[in-house]
Structure 1
Amino acid sequence: MQLFYNPDINQDTPEFIFPTEESKHIVKVLRKKEGDILHLTNGKGYLFEAEILRADLRKCAVKIIKETYHKKNSPALHLVVAPTKMNDRYEWFLEKATEIGVTEITPIICDNSERKVLKLDRMEKVLQAAMKQSLQFHKPILNEPISAKTFIEQNNPTHQEEQQFFIAHCEETEKIDLKERLIPSHNALILIGPEGDFSTSEIEIALRLGYKPVSLGENRLRTETAAIFACATMKLIN
């Protein structure tokens, strides 16, 4: 199934016209014609079946003939991950985490972060492409970058009791393996630091506010690898 994405389609959309680039792809590359069926999602759980009314290279028009709602993955996973020094590594993380089934992503700027500026529009395109490729109908929420300390102060067990809060760091202190900490069927939020790890003060704030320190194994992992490992572990536990 070839899946298309447009956030503006909803249950009340009777007809839809694709942008020029997608129209050209549908008609010229996929060789679709009037009467053929296309599949679209708005990234909010809906799968729409649409019949082509006009196979135009510039304005391919379709009529929505069926809609199906798919529930979100449960439990939810919120990955809070510092940007990597190289953009392509963070984009790789976004792509793979989306394929696995992450629910929400927040980039955090840490004391030891080398990269502090992100291109959210490019990151959104990576999420959209990964969602379509993996045939999912919920696009992960991508939040604006925020400082690690501010995020931790605003998001912790004192504010959300029904969610598990974890911080994965590299300091030689007592930690329990993530797979042993995770409670099946419970939402989870996991902090992953930059290449230089979280600063001592960031770790202290997180622990003071109720975050549980976790280990991701004996090997020291890159930021993007650690995030994917955490995502996959959550999936396996549930």
Structure 2
Amino acid sequence: MQLFYTPEILPQHKAFVLNEEESKHAIRVLRLSSGQQINLVDGRGGRYTAVIMDAHPKRTVLEIVDVSINVGKRPYYLHIAIAPTKNIDRVEWFLEKATEVGIDEITPIICEHSERKDIRLDRLNKVMVSAMKQSMKAYHPKLNESMKFTEFIGAASDGQKFIAHCADSDKAYPSQLAHPSDRYTILVGPEGDFSASEIAGALSAGYQAITLGDSRLRTETAALVACVEVAMLNR
């Protein structure tokens, strides 16, 4: 099944016009024609079945014939705040895999040991759209503007809050602390880990210290392991 990402569509729409990019992909690349059926997702849980009425390479006109809402809705909400890696390809890899596994929100955080302090959200969003379509998801994760670590932990957040760090301390696995069907915020630090003051600040702000295993993981690997742990907890 080929999915088209159409965030502008609404459940009450009876007809819809694909934008130029998606129209070109449908007509020029996939060589679809009038009368053929395609599937759309709005990134908010809606999946739409449509029939091509006018196969135009710049403005393909569709008739909406079926709508499903809350497709693949998960019983939990996962927000991961991750320090961007020096090599942005690693962040893109994480976002791709996390979208496939299941994640709701991502915030890049700038830490004391961060080697990268600027990122292009447009490129990262494109990676997530591609992963969403490839994995047949109907939800597009929310990608926030980057924030300083201290600002992030100082902001109010619902649910359980965790910080994954490598310093010696009492820690537990996420599955030992997290409650099923809840909201989770997990902090994942840079290559040089969080500083001692950042760890102390997070704990003071109500975050619980977690471990993701005995191996020393790369930032993007640690973040993905956290996604998988939460997904397994909520199976």
Is the deviation greater in 67-76 or in 43-52?
67-76
**Across the two proteins, how many residue pairs are aligned to each other?**
233
Moved over 6 A (4+): none
Q: Which residue of 2 aligns with 1:4?
A: 4
Between the aligned partners of 1:183 and 1:117, the Cα distance in structure 2 is 34
The answer to whether residue 155 in structure 2 is matched with residue 192 in structure 1 is no
Residue type of the alignment partner of 2:56:
D
Q: Which residue of 1 aligns with 2:21?
A: 21
Q: Which residue of 2 aligns with 1:211?
A: 207
Q: CA deviation at 1:21?
A: 2.9
3-state SS of 2:198 partner: helix
3-state SS of 2:226 partner: helix
Residue type of the alignment partner of 1:151:
F
Q: Which residue of 2 aligns with 1:49?
A: 49
Between the aligned partners of 1:21 and 1:8, the Cα distance in structure 2 is 14
- Percent identical among aligned pairs is 46
Q: Which residue of 1 aligns with 2:121?
A: 120
Q: CA deviation at 1:59?
A: 2.1
| Structure 2: tracts of 5 or more residues without a match | none
Q: TM-score, normalised by structure 2?
A: 0.95
Q: CA deviation at 1:12?
A: 3.0
3-state SS of 2:170 partner: coil
Between the aligned partners of 2:29 and 2:144, the Cα distance in structure 1 is 34
3-state SS of 1:176 partner: coil
Q: Deviations over 1:34-90 (max 9, x none)?
A: 111110011011111111011122221111121110253111111111101101000
Residue type of the alignment partner of 2:15:
E
Q: Which residue of 1 aligns with 2:225?
A: 229
Q: TM-score, normalised by structure 1?
A: 0.94
Q: CA deviation at 1:145?
A: 0.6
Once the two structures are superposed, the pairs formed by residues 155-194 of structure 1 within 5 Å of their partners are 155=156, 160=158, 163-194=159-190
Once the two structures are superposed, the pairs formed by residues 134-153 of structure 1 within 5 Å of their partners are 134-153=135-154
3-state SS of 1:25 partner: helix
Between the aligned partners of 1:20 and 1:75, the Cα distance in structure 2 is 35
Q: CA deviation at 1:230?
A: 0.4
Q: Which residue of 2 aligns with 1:34?
A: 34
* RMSD (CA atoms): 1.2
Between the aligned partners of 1:223 and 1:155, the Cα distance in structure 2 is 24
